[in-house]
Structure 1
């Protein structure tokens, strides 16, 4: 049974607020292209007050970034929230306890990936759906089918299946929980970690050497997490093969070594993450994973 609360689906004419909860803004061209795509679908786009602030490697001070997020949550005209980009910094916002309260009080779609995993997992911990998908400045890099699929879902239409490479393990069902693997690892054991029991994990990463992926997955194994989940879906692991002259496995070899003995359905090469395609994956939706044929089916919308 789907126990997650679903924010109101959007319709053309709704207002979407743009925030910068992580790294500082660096891509004017992609910002303009992302806004134009949303405009072309009939949505009003509003930039938050501190959208172009910079504070070291952060998009403004903690107070500036949390102020924009709180304002978007409490703004009755705002129906969805989309970050400019990822980077680092979202985790710092949750040192202010008011944020967790307002996320519960004002459930709205939050859309993003990479560092935005922090927000998506916090929402999952309080049983509110969100969307793992392109941030504003990466939306223009998506193929047309991925963009159309996203806007269809955000208006309440059911998603078609996605196809990857099946590793076997049969068929199972669970709650979809996408994440950037490295970011999610730093959330384990914190109040931002949702329940992992009965989930279908959808994991991706970028720029991590194979031995680092090995270390992370070994930590998850030692914590007993993979005994709780009902399946694993792997997206792109972009720039994760080492350029070192030292002996190494490939990232693909590491993933198979650390995951293929779990006796659960696993699919690899699903089109999401930091690769060429970042197809949206709703967080908290019921899915069926077919590890034999490589299909991920979305039961509810």
Structure 2
């Protein structure tokens, strides 16, 4: 049984198309004994976004206000699109000054990856690639795997993710763990919000992207020199991409093998991270050790904020 925590909902991207999912998510977290606030952000609407740019940036900037009580967990409402619109509105100095070293877990994935990249690049803050309110905690059926991984990651000073997915590479490397949604990472290359990470372990995922589009984004990271600086690349879930007869045998596996050849860095596959129902929680900016062989792989993580 997890300990009880204070959870604050933020809406940095889109608004929820299904308010029932919001209600389910909040109810489930409260049923576990957690104190949830901020769910009123789900009522905001501005075009396709969960509020104006100023409102959505304000959700995060209030964490820099000494008068605002810090929650244990900051939980993104949902993804979609909109985070890049508020990157230049965030109070990075204020957030770094108040949150650096604090036992606080800032959580989300998908479009939220843009926020995570920026917070690490500009404020040095470690955040969590993690479930969100509507898609995960508010799903009609909550994944037990997702729920267990979330609380293990947030409440443990060190944890290990193991997957019995046979790998064609044998590696044992360590480095800074970082990543998230591939489209968001590729979009921020060359901007002040893209962290420069040497010797990292990069994990990526995406949804509704054809393999050639995934390849193109990986080429963007390759040509920009990002992949060459990493010790390994971990591929999470890439669901929803539809093949066509024109592909003529070009599928996700063929694309991965090509990227292996082009980049020359170890690539591990089969991480349950992305837009599927099962989602492992990973700290962006933590220390990690990745071991892989023909039996599977393990990822041991430490050095991240741990909730008391």
> Same fold by TM-score, threshold 0.5 exceeded?
yes
> What do residues 277-298 of structure 1 show as CA deviations (whole Å, max 9, x unaligned)?
1111111121112232432321
Q: Which residue of 1 aligns with 2:37?
A: 46
Work out whether residues 75 and 108 of structure 2, in 8 Å CA contact, stay in contact via their aligned partners in 1: yes
- For residue 230 of structure 2, give the secondary structure of its aligned residue in structure 1: coil
Work out whether residues 240 and 251 of structure 1, in 8 Å CA contact, stay in contact via their aligned partners in 2: no
**Larger mean Cα displacement after TM superposition, 127-136 or 262-271:** 262-271
Q: Which residue of 2 aligns with 1:296?
A: 298
Q: Which residue of 1 aligns with 2:131?
A: 134
Partners of 2:153 and 2:209 lie apart in 1 by 31
Q: Which residue of 2 aligns with 1:232?
A: 233
Q: Which residue of 2 aligns with 1:62?
A: 53
Q: Which residue of 1 aligns with 2:120?
A: 124
Q: Does residue 107 of structure 2 align to residue 111 of structure 1?
A: yes
In 2 relative to 1, CA 201–93 (structure 1 residues): closer, same or farther, beyond 3 Å?
same
Work out whether residues 168 and 291 of structure 1, in 8 Å CA contact, stay in contact via their aligned partners in 2: yes
Runs of 4+ in 1 over 4 A off after TM superposition: none
Q: Which residue of 1 aligns with 2:246?
A: 246
> What do residues 243-296 of structure 1 show as CA deviations (whole Å, max 9, x unaligned)?
x44235112321221135544332101111112311111111211122324323
Calculate the TM-score normalised by the size of structure 2: 0.86
Q: Does residue 199 of structure 2 align to residue 203 of structure 1?
A: no
How far 1:82 sits from its partner (Å)?
0.7
Calculate the TM-score normalised by the size of structure 1: 0.88
Work out whether residues 14 and 48 of structure 2, in 8 Å CA contact, stay in contact via their aligned partners in 1: yes
Work out whether residues 201 and 229 of structure 1, in 8 Å CA contact, stay in contact via their aligned partners in 2: yes
Whichever structure has more helix as a proportion of its residues is 2
Work out whether residues 11 and 76 of structure 2, in 8 Å CA contact, stay in contact via their aligned partners in 1: yes
- For residue 23 of structure 1, give the secondary structure of its aligned residue in structure 2: coil
Number of residue pairs aligned between Structure 1 and Structure 2: 289
Work out whether residues 169 and 264 of structure 1, in 8 Å CA contact, stay in contact via their aligned partners in 2: no
Q: Which residue of 2 aligns with 1:173?
A: 174
Q: Which residue of 2 aligns with 1:6?
A: none
In 2 relative to 1, CA 44–73 (structure 1 residues): closer, same or farther, beyond 3 Å?
farther
How far 1:180 sits from its partner (Å)?
0.4
In 2 relative to 1, CA 165–60 (structure 1 residues): closer, same or farther, beyond 3 Å?
farther
Partners of 1:169 and 1:26 lie apart in 2 by 44
Partners of 1:60 and 1:42 lie apart in 2 by 29
Structure 1: gaps spanning 5 or more residues: 1-9
How far 1:299 sits from its partner (Å)?
4.2
- For residue 27 of structure 2, give the secondary structure of its aligned residue in structure 1: helix
Partners of 2:59 and 2:7 lie apart in 1 by 13
Work out whether residues 208 and 239 of structure 2, in 8 Å CA contact, stay in contact via their aligned partners in 1: yes
Let me know the Cα RMSD of the aligned residues.
2.1
**Larger mean Cα displacement after TM superposition, 99-108 or 175-184:** 99-108
- For residue 230 of structure 1, give the secondary structure of its aligned residue in structure 2: strand
Work out whether residues 16 and 134 of structure 2, in 8 Å CA contact, stay in contact via their aligned partners in 1: no
Q: Which residue of 1 aligns with 2:149?
A: 149
Of the three residues 63, 66, 69, the one matched with 1:76 is: 69
**Larger mean Cα displacement after TM superposition, 257-266 or 135-144:** 257-266
